[in-house]
Structure 1
């Protein structure tokens, strides 16, 4: 079970790390994938800063937590994706849905579940 969770987290961490780098290098195309568009240099800077930070921090924590088998570190990306999922739930309630709205929600929910389970199974450093 530990090996499977570690592998899932490592692959997910790599995916999110690449996603973050995509926003840093090419925010226009990466943003379009997420339904985002920039209205000028300020919008591009915001996408580069915020989306890159979100995905790089989440991916790096996932990779580090999987590599070190440290359950505590996995709580950081679990919180990030949990809050993102909450935002999507609020958006569905407030704004309604579009075709394919469930796919990012499912990815975030699966990520949160895997990270929370792994945070309980993988060891925690002694304090």
Structure 2
């Protein structure tokens, strides 16, 4: 049961970030208000490409990891991306970068994303034990 709940949570997470990534490809100004990034002039192209790539790759990897049993390791891709972003923000805060409510919110989202992806990978990668006597099911060794 927990496996289905985790898969559902990861898929909902993936859909949200897929939508965010597609919105950013179509209109990089999407990221302006959410992340305080200037998306004008030549910066618009960089924001469109880099931010959208971050969200799209993490969303697709999460969906693959949730849906394909042999590809659970794909969940470590968004875990690594969001973990790296969180570490970067923590280093920035420790170095004196300005930290406002939007940065704190982003750090919370990154920490929760890291926990969801790494935790889901860990749980979904473990063998499951099936009660003896259930027809059609094979018990996996623990």
TM-score by length of 2: 0.80
Contact 2:64 2:72 in 1 (8 A): no
Structure ranking higher in helix proportion:
1
**Alignment gaps of 5+ in structure 2:** 127-142
- Greater than 3 Å deviation, 4+ residue runs: none
Counterpart position of 1:122: 124
Q: Which protein shows a greater Rg?
A: 2
TM-score by length of 1: 0.89
Superposed, 1:35-114 pairs within 5 Å as: 35-40=36-41, 42-69=42-69, 70-94=71-95, 95-114=97-116
**Alignment gaps of 5+ in structure 1:** none
* CA RMSD between the two structures: 1.5
Equivalent residue pairs, number = 123
Paired with 1:29 and 1:12, the residues of 2 have a C-alpha distance of: 18
Larger RCO of the pair (alpha carbons < 8 Å, separation 6+): 1
Please list the CA deviations of residues 92-113 of structure 1 after superposition, one character each: whole Å capped at 9, or x if unmatched: 1121422343211111101111
Paired with 1:46 and 1:13, the residues of 2 have a C-alpha distance of: 23
Paired with 2:66 and 2:33, the residues of 1 have a C-alpha distance of: 30
